[in-house]
Copies of this chain bind each other. A is one copy, B any other.
């Protein structure tokens, strides 16, 4: 008997990205409001050790906050402090520690796992939260520019396995995100700067006026002024979230994530054993694909010059020696294709503010672009093409 049953349904997802400050000062009701007031929920914190080092009172503030708001939340175990940066994603160890805590403390689907830290810590804790009991409510408190404007506000989580970035992970929208600007002033310069490259990315492929705004705000951004950085984070976060909700949030079809410049960036992070920050690698990856776009006569020299200059004024390096290793970059293209699956799709530029997709790249031309970047890095801007 040949028959079939067609299953069709839509799953609605909803979460809010809040912008606040001093989230764990007792007087700030936001976190307790996000948890919800109707009953006492178990909350488990996972905190980036880099954040604890810069904010030594944070763990005590969290304990005091929980005490002050015990009508709606209880810390079911002491916060788990984990390494920041890619190290925390390069092993299953920390995921297992969170899962063990879920088991030991009866953390269930109505409890909360709250992660405070950079994108790597959020990715790792998000993955553990997504697979325990098929998904525990997960609140993200991103502390870096990159996490606040990009990686921490989206729907993905992951860890790295077999030397492949984000090999394991899921799509799992957070319960809520809280961007607390209190964490921005204590960032290292590298982390302050890193996150800006994702804003350059969305501006370049989607919004020329945002790119112009960054050119005009470059001094304030470089000098670490908070107001322009808040504006940059808000605008970038908004565009990133609009892209997710307007497209294919779980990337099931052919629509693409916002990954301009990312194919080379992923490989460069791996080649440098993650000494290069993600945002630093993305800046180089964007510079590479912008130069390639120029060599393909898709953008003008003046557009390319504006892009490279903005990165350089912000203090980014646009070339490292690893960029000129031919076979490693072609591996990078293939790994990028494999990770997203199906046909290779790379975004290039047809103008500032306008991304365009291509399905193949010429490796000789990529190497030529890399050579130009080496010249740019040395301050030489005459192109011999």
Residues of A with Cβ closer than 8 Å to B?
A: 1-20, 99-100, 103, 106, 108-111, 130-136, 153, 156, 158, 161-162, 164, 166-173, 181, 230, 234, 237-238, 241, 244-245, 249-252, 337-342
Contacts and interface: CB of A to CB of B under 8 A. Distances in A.
Given A7-B14, A100-B162, A103-B161, 16 more contacts: A1-B181, A1-B230, A5-B17, A7-B15, A9-B12, A9-B13, A10-B12, A11-B252, A108-B337, A108-B339, A108-B342, A109-B340, A132-B168, A133-B338, A133-B339, A134-B171
A132 B131 CA distance: 12
Contact of A99 (B16, B168, B244, B250): B168
B10 A134 contact: no
A134 B156 contact: yes
Nearest to A102: B167
A63 to B, nearest CB: 24
Contacts of A251: 109, 134
A16 B1 contact: no
Contacts of A19: 1-4
Contacts of A340: 108-109
Given A132-B168, A134-B170, A134-B171, A108 B338 contact: yes
A106 B338 contact: yes
A36 to B, nearest CB: 12
Which has the most chain B C-beta neighbours within 10 Å: A7, A168, A251, A342? A7
Nearest to A134: B169
B339 A11 contact: no
B168 A131 contact: yes
A245 B4 contact: no
Contacts of A173: 7
19 contacts: A1-B230, A3-B234, A5-B238, A7-B14, A8-B12, A8-B13, A8-B245, A10-B10, A10-B11, A11-B250, A99-B167, A106-B338, A108-B338, A109-B339, A132-B167, A134-B156, A134-B251, A135-B252, A136-B341
B237 A109 contact: no
Contacts of A156: 134
A66 to B, nearest CB: 20
A136 to B, nearest CB: 8
A267 to B, nearest CB: 16
A237 to B, nearest CB: 6
A171 B135 contact: yes
A103 B164 contact: yes
Given A103-B161, A339-B133, A13 B16 contact: no
Given A111-B341, A169-B134, A340-B109, A20 B6 contact: no
Which has the most chain B C-beta neighbours within 10 Å: A3, A134, A158, A241? A134
Which has the most chain B C-beta neighbours within 10 Å: A110, A133, A172, A251? A133
Contacts of A111: 341
Given A2-B19, A103-B162, A11 B11 contact: yes
Which has the most chain B C-beta neighbours within 10 Å: A4, A135, A245? A4
Nearest to A157: B134
